[in-house]
Amino acid sequence: MKSVLTVIGARPQFVKAAVVSSALSKIGIREKIVHTGQHYDSSLSNIFFQELNIPEPTYHLGVGSGSHGQQTANMLVEIEKIVLEVKPDWVLVYGDTNSTIAGALAAAKHHIPIAHVEAGLRSFNRRMPEEINRITTDHLSSLLLCPTESAMTHLKNEGIVNSIEKSGFKRKVELVGDVMYDATIVFGNIAEQRSKILQSQNLEKDKYILVTIHRAENTDDRNRLRIIVEALSLLGIKKNVIWPVHPRTRKSLEECAFNKNLTQSKVQLIDPVGYFDMLILEKNAECIVTDSGGVQKEAFFAKVPCITLRDETEWVELVASGWNTLVPPTDSLRIADAAMGAKPGKNNIQPYGNGCASEVIATLINT
């Protein structure tokens, strides 16, 4: 029986782990979960474990916030102890966070094979800490689990292909599909039954714009954040705008007093919501404005146009198909116009698999 040590620490990773952990369990793979505590606010952590029925973490590191170096180093020290204690057959990591790279480094130093979910994604912007994390993790991994064809191409271009080195290091690259699509399928009906977010916020289908902003490049840059707030204020004059505010974003808004700029418009700032509420908000929105990688895909799954406030995106398929429009936050009028004019993209694309990525991943790990 194979054993897996799963390292997670952020909201998107909890969603992905919900379906993959279930698939691992179904075929008898023993899993222990390490929650690094990278996302420690209950609205970004506890509620997801409760809603998605994720197994309780065996280890909770409680690392919390800090600089990238400090946070990663603290995780690495603690995960290494666990790796030495558990001696798993695999260390499983997701995405591109500091939790991802810390788990990969701890495993690699002790010659434990690494399985990387969402391997091969690239923004080609080395100023993003996520880009450094994902590239390094891919080059350390033995099993690279790609969500898209473009991810496979990126790895090939970097010389990462199926291989066995003289040292005995084995590498396997597989196109498996996107586990977030799996999660949307699995939890979509449950969300419909349980969520009351539309009623509690007095929202009607196709009559509001949903906003999520959390990336440091936007929240920590005062000028970019000001432009985003100005754009939302313009939108809020004509449209209902609902904005579940990430704790870091709220802190930045309050420090700059930008939240006061929204008082004359129909922009509702609410606390972060759980996964079920988020799925319903996404599904019923007229348009979504975000800087989140996961929300870009969830918008597509819900067939809702998306405006992404970034200079680039890893999910290039959505831009090419017209479902996603990149608008760097340098001009508030351009952002507002893009959101007001957002339209559906092409309906004949299915770039993220058939909803069985988690089962494929479990099978590959068990091979």
Structural domain count, the chain: 2
pTM value is 0.94
Same domain, 214 and 251: yes
Angle between helix 293-301 and 179-194 (nearest 10): 70
Q: Is 183 among the domain residues?
A: no
Q: Is 304 among the domain residues?
A: yes
Same domain, 159 and 133: yes
Q: Is 330 among the domain residues?
A: yes
Same domain, 136 and 220: no
Q: Are 54 and 48 in contact (CB under 8 A)?
A: yes
Q: In the structure, what pLDDT confidence band is assigned to residue 53 with cuts at 50, 70 and 90?
A: confident
Q: How many residues are given for the chain?
A: 367
Q: Is the pLDDT of residue 44 over 70?
A: no
Q: Is 347 among the domain residues?
A: no
Same domain, 257 and 193: yes
Q: Are 38 and 72 in contact (CB under 8 A)?
A: no
Same domain, 251 and 286: yes
Same domain, 196 and 86: no
Q: Could you tell me how far CA 366 lies from the centroid of its own chain? A: 25
DSSP state, residue 106: H
Q: Is 220 among the domain residues?
A: yes
Q: Is the pLDDT of residue 110 over 80?
A: yes
Same domain, 171 and 40: yes
Q: What is the pLDDT of residue 248?
A: 84
Same domain, 143 and 218: no
CB atoms within 10 A of CB 296: 23
Same domain, 54 and 165: yes
How confident is the model over 119-142, as pLDDT tens digits?
999 999 998 999 999 999 999 999
Mean pLDDT on 246-254: 88
The residue range of the domain holding 212 is 189-340
Same domain, 277 and 170: no
Q: Is the pLDDT of residue 85 over 90?
A: yes
Percent of the chain at pLDDT > 70 equals: 97
Q: Is the pLDDT of residue 66 over 80?
A: yes
The CA distance from 332 to 233, in Å, is: 9
Same domain, 174 and 93: yes
Mean pLDDT on 259-281: 86
Token representation of residue 329: 């936050």
Q: DSSP letters along 285-343, please?
A: -SEEEE--HHHHHHHHHTT--EEE-SS--S-HHHHHHTSEEE--TT-HHHHHHHHHT--
CATH number of the domain where residue 285 is located = 3.40.50.2000
How confident is the model over 298-357, as pLDDT tens digits?
999 999 999 999 999 999 999 999 999 999 999 999 999 999 999 999 988 999 999 999
Q: Could you tell me how far CA 195 lies from the centroid of its own chain? A: 21
Say whether 90 sits in a helix, a strand or coil: strand
Same domain, 155 and 8: yes
Strands of the sheet containing 170-175, edge to edge, are 59-60, 30-35, 3-8, 90-94, 114-117, 143-146, 170-175, 163-164
Q: Are 48 and 12 in contact (CB under 8 A)?
A: no
Give catalytic residue positions.
Answer: 214
